[in-house]
Structure 1
Amino acid sequence: MDIPVLPLAVTMMAGPQFVSSVILVTTPRAVRVSLAFLAGVAIAVAVGVTAMFGVAAAFGGAVGLGSESDRGSTGNIVKYVLVAALVVLALRNWRGRETAEPPRWLGALMDAGPVRAFRTGLLVIALMPSDLIVMLTVGVHLRQTHASPVAALPFWALTVLIAALPLLALLLFRHRAATAMPRVREWMNTHSWLINIAVCVLFIVIILSGE
């Protein structure tokens, strides 16, 4: 997979996805639940990208996605539609910033065991609209460049690595990380709207910069 697509891995974990990984490293069984969460993320991304590649292949077989160099190709039009959807989403987050609250399920992660952590890792990828859009974009890109889903392995690995950053910080810097992570968690919870807007903007920049 070429370099311009790899930054999309950042948007995969930005928002509640990364907040989940931060919360889990502040729990009593931090290592166990974090590893279970990472396993869920890894499986969800692998299955999701493969499924979206199938969608892009089926769609492309019916209408033809064209090449990335052709701005009027169906594949690029799909990307423009995604950009428009992201603009609308960013505006909605800005308008609702005063009343924005983190999802209730994030708070429940403080008592999560490995099973719940694994399930959360699956669902924060499989059910998050932003991640579905990212994986669809990757699928379209793979189809347009005539690559197989195996070519998305660097994207998969980078996404899992980003998800693992809080756990890696805990293992490498133990006391300092244990002190800092709760503050990071609280900031991300109270600024979820800002994170969502940043994700949308980053995603739009990445898509348009590849044109």
Structure 2
Amino acid sequence: MTLQVLPLAITMMAGPQIMSAIILVTTARPVQASLAFLGGVALSASAGVAAARGIFALVGSNVDIGKASDDSSVGKIVQYVLIALLLVAILRNYVKRATIEPPKWLGSLMNAGPGRAFKTGLLLIILMPSDIIVMLTVGANLEQHHEGVAAAAVFVGATLLVAAVPLLALLIFHRRAERAMPRAREWMTHNSWMVNIICCLIFIAIIH
């Protein structure tokens, strides 16, 4: 893939996604719940990228998106529209920073078991607009450069690595992680607007 895989993977997990992973390592069964969550993320991301690749394979045979160097091409116009939407999202998050709060369902994950964790990982990737945009971007890139499963697996693997950071921290540092994760969860809860802005900025840098 010619795209920067790690920034895309970080964008995939920024926001409620990584917050979910952090909350799950503070549950009664952190390892089981976290592994189930990662399974849901893996399945959803793989299916999403495959679907996006299929969409652009069908569209590509009927629509000429133009050369990347052509500022008037359809591809460039789509990029400009995405950047404009992301800038609007940044402005909205900043203006409403005092009232923006994480989704209420995040709190219910404190008692989540493996089944609930798997479902959360599965639905988060499918339903998050930012993740849908990232997967469409990856799918378009794969189709444009005629890359196969290996290239898609690199992206999915990078996404899983980012999603697994809280679990890896728990397994490696254990006691320290047990103390740090609740603090990290609280910080992200009170600064969710900042997390959203960082996510938008990363994506703008990728698609520009």
Using the size of structure 2 for normalisation, the TM-score is: 0.95
Q: For residues 31 and 42 of structure 1, do their structure 2 counterparts lie closer, same or farther at Cα, with a shift above 3 Å needed?
A: same
Question: Residues 66-145 of structure 1: matches in 2 within 5 Å?
Answer: 66-145=66-145
Tell me the alpha carbon deviations over residues 12-32 of structure 1, each in whole angstroms, 9 at most, x when there is no partner: 001100000000001110000
| Correspondence for 1:23 | 23
Residue equivalent to 2:60: 60
Matches of 2:146 and 2:33, distance apart in 1: 38
1:44 and 1:126 in contact (8 A); partners too: yes
Within 1, Cα distance between the matches of 2:84 and 2:6? 21
Quote the residue 1:192 is aligned against. Answer: 192
Tell me how many residue pairs correspond in the alignment. Answer: 208
Q: Classify the secondary structure of the residue corresponding to 1:63.
A: coil
Per-residue displacement from partner, 1:59-96 (whole Å, max 9, x unpaired)?
Answer: 22221223434443322322222222211111111121
2: CA distance, partners of 1:5 / 1:81 = 22
Deviations 1:36-66 (A, max 9, x none): 0000000010000111111222222221223
Could you tell me which runs of 5 or more consecutive residues in structure 1 were left unpaired when the two chains were aligned: none
Q: Is the 8 A contact 2:5 2:154 kept in 1?
A: no
TM-score norm. by structure 1 comes to 0.93
One-letter code of the match for 1:96?
K
Measured on the aligned residues, the alpha-carbon RMSD in Å equals: 1.4
**Cα pair 2:3 2:206 within 8 Å, conserved:** no
Aligned partners of 1:95 and 1:87: how far apart in 2? 12
Q: Report % sequence identity.
A: 58
Contact 2:56 2:139 in 1 (8 A): yes
In structure 2, distance between residues paired with 1:161 and 1:56: 26
